[in-house]
Amino acid sequence: MSEWPIRVILAQPRGFCAGVERAIDIVERALALYGPPVYVRHEIVHNGHVVEGLRARGARFVDEVDEIPNGAVTIFSAHGVSMAVETMARARDLRVIDATCPLVTKVHREGRRYAANGFDVILIGHKGHAEVDGTIGQIGGTVHLVSSVADVMDLRPCDPDRVAYVTQTTLSVDDAHEIIKALVARFPRIVGPHVNDICYATQNRQVAVRELAQRVDVVLVVGAANSSNSNRLREIGAGMGKPCYLIGDAGAIDTAWFDGVSSVGITAGASAPEVLVSGVVDHLASLRPIRLETLSGVIENVRFRLPYELDPNRVA
């Protein structure tokens, strides 16, 4: 490749959010306190590098709680679980530590409140995503899942005047806004949170990648293929008319992407560790001289409390 320098710009913010940091911290503290093995239902967060690192330290990841020995220390992932999973865990006398992101828990509470007041609840989200499955299973009552404006037209609530909506936390803010507009147009009396109730970290990263795409020739999004928020970042970058690639790590880079390119932007999904971003930067530096800079942007200072069982003020 050419030896002329390439400008590499990092998005701000990028990478881990407070909910992900909390979830990983929960697994690490549980391993230190109780010793391995500690069982985790599903991936603690959607990133294979994080999962493998915790597995090496003694975490065991399972698909369902019936794979866990009775009485074992068990952690629910950041995406949340259904009430049926909670019931099954109690039946097996599992020592559960809940790593559900507090912002996901907030959606659960809102949905249950609407359902308890006799509303059909519309969940805006992606079918099959762990957070969506958990939220549907937490709300109870009648829940309708919509993923697009087209889905809105197929809705048949019990009472069109008693309809409410909640949202998956990792949606595209723009897509969610369009779906909410369609819901309001069809059900004028619908109630629900403002689109700004979508996770602060999701919004901040989407704003940052939009600015990033305006300044560079190519955008790289570091994140896992099954990470909803990482996929939304790639879609936004591509929607800005720039080649935008979702990569798990530096090993997924194709050098042909940078032929004739003078600038590359890098961001990372909320479950992607900064070490992977550093690896991408180092890889680019091995191909061509780079000029590295970081966009100005939101500095996130959000922190969520740990569960009572792992509170450092309580546990020696």
Crossing angle (nearest 10°) for helices 200-213 and 228-239: 30
**Model confidence at 311, in pLDDT bands (50, 70, 90)?**
confident
Q: Which of 43, 86, 131, 235 is catalytic?
A: 131
Would you say 160 and 187 are in contact if contact means Cβ atoms under 8 Å apart?
A: yes
What pTM value is reported for the model? 0.93
Go through the domains of the chain in sequence order and give each one's CATH number: 6-16+200-294 (3.40.1010.20), 18-101 (3.40.50.11270), 103-197 (3.40.1010.20)
Assess whether 131 carries a catalytic annotation.
yes
Q: Which among 67, 62, 71, 70 is positioned nearest to 44, based on CA atoms?
A: 62
Query: What pLDDT, in 10s, does the model give residues 167-200?
Result: 999 988 889 999 999 999 999 999 998 766 678 9
Q: Which sign does the torsion angle of CA 62, 66, 69, 73 carry?
A: positive
Query: What pLDDT, in 10s, does the model give residues 193-228?
Result: 876 667 899 999 999 999 999 999 999 999 999 999
- Mean predicted lDDT score pLDDT of the chain: 94
Phi first, then psi: give them for residue 74, nearest 5 degrees: -130, 135
Would you say 301 and 18 are in contact if contact means Cβ atoms under 8 Å apart?
A: no
Q: How is 29-56 classified by DSSP, letter by letter?
A: HHHHHH-S-EEEES-SSS-HHHHHHHHH
Query: What pLDDT, in 10s, does the model give residues 253-286?
Result: 999 999 999 999 999 999 999 999 999 999 999 9
